[in-house]
Chain A
Amino acid sequence: MKIAVCIKRVPDSETRVKIAADGKSLDEAGVKFVLNPYDEFAVEEALRRKEAAGTGEVAVFSLGPAAAQETIRTALAMGADRGVLLQTDKIPADPFEAAKLLAAELRGSSWDLILFGRMAIDDYNTQVGPLVAELLNLPCVTAVAHLEIDGTKGVAEREIEGGIEVVDFPLPAVLTADKGLNEPRYPALKGIMAAKKKPLEVKPVQPGTGTLEIVALIPPPERKEGKIVGEGAGAVGELVRLLREEAKVL
């Protein structure tokens, strides 16, 4: 199994969002960055598939700033064999530009699987995986929560509203991983030490400007000050009255 996993360095979800002076981006001072949680499922799945096959390679690819080398090292510490950083100071606001750079890097090797997380928890774009699949003309299943592979035949399950879709696809394929696919491992100390010696190639890239232009990053509208209606079951009557007469939702 030769597997590529595309990963992203994202701010930890606990991050306090402070908007930078340009009014268009996150002020990164003091922000802790992590491997995107959905990408952990993708890395884990790649490692399990390689381990089950007994042979193969797991290579991780990331588009991002120099600091994304740390993110790649996290994946290497989990067990991936090598990493490639497509280095740019600015991740393009247009995900199609990001997809073009990743597709150009992945093209030319014969991957059995190319895995992504279902979405990145910073920009919620939910599309770089399927965009890359289209650019490489590979079949794609998104938001995979269960996966079975037999030779070059795959069956994936994905959650939809009110049910589960069972999807047939052939390998090679691009898949995006949802929660539930597996339980990602924590890098062991041995893995962390080994990761320092694994190959990590850095290639500078120049993203195009694309067709999505950030106008502003703004705080969400404040929810109007809520009220504590009261304590205990005795407050329920008043709660119901407020929901009917004030909020008009009953």
Chain B
Amino acid sequence: MSGNVLAVLEERDGKLRKVSFEVVTAARRLGAKIDAVVCDASNREGAAAALADRAKTGYRAVVFAGTATGKDLAPRVAARLGVPVAADLTDLVAEGGGGGLVVTRPVYAGKALLKVKVTAQPAVLSLRPNVFTPDADAAAVTPERLAVKPGGRVTVREIKAAPAGMLDVAEAQVIISGGRGLKEPANFRVLEELAHAFGGRAAVGASRAVVDAGWRAHSDQVGQTGKTVSPSLYIAVGISGAIQHLAGMRTSKVIVAINKDKDAPIFKVADYGVVGDLFEIVPKLTEEIRKLHG
């Protein structure tokens, strides 16, 4: 059994995704040498077979990104190797010598962390996106392209892309999320203007309440029944901060809350809070951000 680590990278439109550099960075923590691979995942079973066949040649660990594709692919590969996935990791520590590995994963809506010793050979891991800060040279990686045999039963027929210029909340560096405090769907415009002021780095998210009310798409929902995000900056606007919402955003690096209710639970997790009328505060913030980026 070699001590090498297999890093499974993802690309979109022919380019490696940022999350791939996070995978490279985490994989390097586990082994002196990593083999980085990519493969076409549109034939899911073929991709799983190709990755499992490679993994069987002797790796200490196989590292996936916990993206929509990674979460789908990793268990298929793991099952073929007869092991589980240690999923959604926010930390990992290789133990000295024996090849042991201790990983950390949030559970119970982020209200606790589980530390788990992984004894599987190989260890199949998936990483929570945006948690591991990529090494400066991770982007220099040149992955090997694995061939995928045709003939799988499960195939991606097409990808309906979100409208051009729309950044997904799961990938944005800055997220401005709105809740019931916005009062009506059209008012999300003030959040979109703020997002726009960040110049392509920001996305607009939403609380469960406004998604259930049909104001915003489910793909924008942050929280337990939506997406889990870890942006550099999370601005919660008119969101009270129900535990289901916190589950999706509490690992954000910096949290700002804007709410008229000074007792709203969101202020307990926020690094910075502004109490007051969001319809006065947000446009002013947009103006200030524009000045910075202007």
Contact = CB atoms under 8 A, between A and B. Distances in A.
Interface in B235-264: 243-244, 247, 250, 253-257, 262
A161 to B, nearest CB: 4
A244 B293 CA distance: 12
Given A121-B224, A142-B72, A164-B160, A228 B87 contact: no
Given A164-B160, A213-B117, A124 B243 contact: no
Contacts of B280: 232-233
Contacts of A237: 288
B150 to A, nearest CB: 14
Interface string B135-167: 000000000000000000111111111100011
B112 A218 contact: yes
A227 B157 CA distance: 49
A141 B277 CA distance: 44
Given A130-B75, A134-B76, A231 B274 contact: yes
B87 A127 contact: yes
B74 A127 contact: yes
Contacts of B154: 139-141, 167-169
A233 B281 contact: yes
B281 A236 contact: yes
Given A13-B224, A13-B247, A139 B68 contact: no
Nearest to A127: B75
Interface in B18-70: 44-45, 67-69
Interface residues of A, number: 84
- Size band of the interface chain B makes with A: 35 or more
B106 A239 contact: no
Contacts of B158: 165-166
Nearest to A240: B288
A163 B162 contact: yes
A212 to B, nearest CB: 5
B71 A226 contact: no
Contacts, number: 264
A247 B254 contact: yes
A165 B159 contact: yes
A84 B110 CA distance: 31
Interface in A92-125: 93-97, 99, 121-125
A213 B254 contact: no
Contacts of A143: 68, 71-72
Contacts of A166: 156-160
B156 A214 contact: no
Interface of A: 11, 13-17, 19, 26, 37-38, 93-97, 99, 121-127, 129-131, 133-135, 139-143, 145, 155, 157-170, 179-180, 210-220, 223-224, 226-233, 235-237, 239-240, 242-244, 247, 249-250
Given A126-B87, A143-B68, A236-B284, 11 more contacts: A19-B112, A96-B78, A130-B79, A161-B168, A166-B156, A211-B84, A211-B119, A217-B114, A226-B267, A228-B267, A235-B276
Interface of B: 12, 44-45, 67-69, 71-72, 74-76, 78-80, 82-88, 102, 105-121, 153-162, 166-168, 170-171, 174, 218-219, 221, 224-226, 232-233, 243-244, 247, 250, 253-257, 262, 267-277, 280-281, 283-285, 288-289, 292
7 contacts: A130-B72, A213-B119, A223-B255, A226-B270, A228-B267, A237-B288, A247-B254
